[in-house]
Amino acid sequence: MTDVDQGPPPGRPTPAGDARRSSGFASLRIRNYRIYTLGQSTSVVGNWMQNIAVGWLTLELTHSGTMLGVVTGARYLPVLLLGAWGGLVVDRHDTRRVLAWTQVGFAAQAALLTGLSAAHLVTLPLLVLIMLTLGLTNLFDGPARQKLISELVTPGLLTNAIAINSTFINTAKLVGPGVAGFVIAALGVVPCFALDTVSFLAVLVSLAMLRTAEMSPAEREVRAKGQIRAGLAHIRRTPELLYPMLMVYVTGILTWEFPVSLPLLTTSVFRSGPAGYGAATAVMSVGGVLGGLVAVRRHRLSTRSLSVSAMIWGVLICAAALAPGLPVALALLVLVGVGSITFNSSARTLIQMGAAPQMRGRVMAIWSIGWMGGTVIGAPLVGAVGAYWGARSALLVGGVAAACVGIVVLVLSSTGQRGPASLR
């Protein structure tokens, strides 16, 4: 195993300095974190261009919303099935090297899409296969990206760093689809895939520029039996992990299904077509940026505050689902976007802070299973609810789920219960 640092490395702020500078964009003053965040944000723009282009290409090939769901689900299926193993691999290896290899893998996949699209050789089975390989790469990329943040900043700045990361990603989510729409309209999908290929160079360059002497890598796990079970047991025995993880899983499966619920609401209820869906997505992204700006100024987080965030978020979603018209719904969706990022960044922070450093990869992988892999289960379920009970119910079920899980965890944490672990 590698040695664990006994104090802040040279060039990094001390915990006392963290306390004085834990507001605003303090984490960006750390050179390593600033360089990595800028590189990752550039890559996210390219990634969202690819997402839009893949969706467009799927519809061109199949003219089927069902097949669009299949292609999207293929990307998240590996995370759902193998996520914990991916986190274990990250815990056993150098985080920066894992990320470098995943960027090479992503770039190769994007380059393949570029070549196949330019040659008009893309078929639906090929597209599904490429999305599956993308998901396999993301098994390691997701937990490694989350873990690296904690190695670039001191614990006192982790809340601020995660919030800034969420703000930059949501800003990129605003830019990427807009650029993709313009490029596809003018030149087709091929340039989107080509630009995505190039965008991964930004992350590779940023990783190469990191100063290892100013990082605090966690102790690596040596190979042994039962390490995935150990990670699960660590979560089950630690209320600071168990409660936030419970909320993440419930909301990840039922609430974070806006790609399903919003199209149903805007097209079936408000009869606004693609323009309404585009507007709903845009205002939620704007809300996400605003939520990130709010989150960077938060100083204290707890399970109780996360529960309250889930409750407020759920109420806002319910209000948007019951809105009498599209303008009111769009206004409420801005607030839903704020709540989404406030909840997500707070949950990630609590889980990262509560995890033992040598298990952080596995813990964040298990977080990814709920927050992203849950889409494989939640998207068809929410879609079925919308089809059976009406379009508003698809959004409403997510709001009720978020509010209810917030209430349950608030009661459990207030009474000192350990939750499911105490029942064993």
Task: Give the pLDDT score at 115.
Answer: 96
User: 27-210: CATH homologous superfamily?
Assistant: MFS general substrate transporter like domains (1.20.1250.20)
Instruction: Phi first, then psi: give them for residue 110, nearest 5 degrees.
Output: -65, -40
pLDDT tens digits, 3-50? 333 344 444 444 434 444 445 778 889 999 999 999 998 898 899 889
CATH fold of the domain at 228-415:
Growth Hormone; Chain: A; (1.20.1250)
pLDDT tens digits, 327-342? 999 999 999 999 998 8
Residue 92's CB is within 10 A of a number of other CB atoms, namely 16
pLDDT mean across residues, the chain: 84
Task: Give the pLDDT score at 65.
Answer: 60
Smallest Cα–Cα separation from 201: which of 110, 127, 117?
110
Task: Give the pLDDT score at 137.
Answer: 95
Between 109 and 181, residue with greater pLDDT: 109
Q: Assign residue 175 a region (left: φ > 0; alpha: ψ between -120 and 50; beta: otherwise).
A: alpha
Alpha-carbon span 50 to 53, nearest angstrom: 5
What would the mean pLDDT of 238-261 be, rounded to a whole number?
A: 90
Q: How many residues does the chain have?
A: 424
Task: Give the pLDDT score at 17.
Answer: 46
Q: Give the confidence band of 414 by pLDDT, cuts at 50, 70, 90.
A: confident
Task: Give the pLDDT score at 14.
Answer: 42
Q: Give the confidence band of 416 by pLDDT, cuts at 50, 70, 90.
A: low
Residue type, 264: L
Q: Residue 365: pLDDT above 50?
A: yes
Instruction: Phi first, then psi: give them for residue 38, nearest 5 degrees.
Output: -65, -40
Task: Give the pLDDT score at 284.
Answer: 86
Instruction: Phi first, then psi: give them for residue 54, nearest 5 degrees.
Output: -65, -45
The yes-or-no answer to whether 27-210 and 228-415 have a common fold is yes
Task: Give the pLDDT score at 16.
Answer: 39
Alpha-carbon span 386 to 260, nearest angstrom: 9
pLDDT above 90: percentage of residues in the chain: 37
Residue 262's CB is within 10 A of a number of other CB atoms, namely 24
Between 62 and 190, residue with greater pLDDT: 190
Encoding tokens for residue 389?
Answer: 């009970």
CB 409 within 8 A of CB 247: yes
pLDDT tens digits, 126-183? 999 999 999 999 999 988 988 899 899 988 888 888 888 877 877 777 777 778 878 8
Q: Assign residue 273 a region (left: φ > 0; alpha: ψ between -120 and 50; beta: otherwise).
A: left
Between 278 and 118, residue with greater pLDDT: 118
Q: Which of the residue ranges 58-72, 84-98, 202-216, 356-370 would you say has the lowest mean pLDDT?
A: 58-72
Task: Give the pLDDT score at 372.
Answer: 79
Q: Which of the residue ranges 146-160, 368-382, 408-422 would you say has the lowest mean pLDDT?
A: 408-422
Q: What is the dihedral of CA 342, 255, 347, 366, to 10 degrees?
A: -150
pTM, two decimals, is: 0.77
**How many helical (H) and strand (E) elements, i.e. helices and strands, does the chain have?**
16, 0
In the chain, where the domains are located: 27-210, 228-415
Q: Residue 362: pLDDT above 70?
A: yes
Q: Which of the residue ranges 15-24, 52-61, 129-138, 268-277 would you say has the lowest mean pLDDT?
A: 15-24
CB 375 within 8 A of CB 73: yes
